[in-house]
Structure 1
Amino acid sequence: MSVDIQISKKIFNKVYIPYLENIIRTQIFFGGSSAGKSVFISQRCVIDLLENNRNYLVIRNTANTLRTSIFNEIKKVILNWNLEKLFKINKTEMTMTCVTGYQILFRGLDDAEKLKSIIPEKGVITD
């Protein structure tokens, strides 16, 4: 199942538009602070869950920094695009589940061994 949404390309940073539909396995985004990397990647995550049948595993060095950083950034995209009816956001489990069944899972590297046993509700997480 996928959800077809119409998002104007005007809301994306022009620098990142070529990467909207890029399916290369490894993509590296770099630049200074305020370059728009986190915003674009958050936007791309939301689109991929809705349209491209893809799960995401978001990892930071420590789990306690996730909620106040990328978790909030992705949540902001969902709210700004008025898509909250299409997502279940679980602040306790640190997951975002789309109506398509695909998820964004947020974990820290505090205990890297726990990352090996992560299984999303639908599909797989690949390295």
Structure 2
Amino acid sequence: MKHMAKKDDAVSPVVGVMLMLVVTIIIAAVVSGFAGGLAGGTGKAPQASLVANEIVVNEAYDTNTINNMAPNPVADKAADIYVIFEHMGGDGINLNNIEIHLGSLKYAHEKTLISNSKTPNNDPGHYWE
């Protein structure tokens, strides 16, 4: 009976290559899962279409500051300045924390802040309504 010699010289490199291939596939799957949003999603920002239908100003500016770039509203007539926005479509809008920043092209550095609060803003040049 002949004695056959076993040779396992190639087994170790093949097992090593297979292990590296499996580890590479697992790492690629984890990276792909995170990149695809599997680990957690972000909320979609609400989108709505608004139109300013009516802007009412009933002599609510102080005549001493009307020629300045940022006239100050008269304190007792703040309710006489208002803008009516119409919700034309899209997502609903939560009015509890809404802020609308209005400005003009001529005086782009000046802004008017409108919110649903009657508390005055401490920043100069801003009004709350």
Structure 2 length-normalised TM: 0.23
More strand by share: 2
Larger Rg over CA atoms: 2
Q: Give the TM-score normalised by the residue count of structure 1.
A: 0.23
Higher relative contact order (CA 8 A, sep 6+): 1
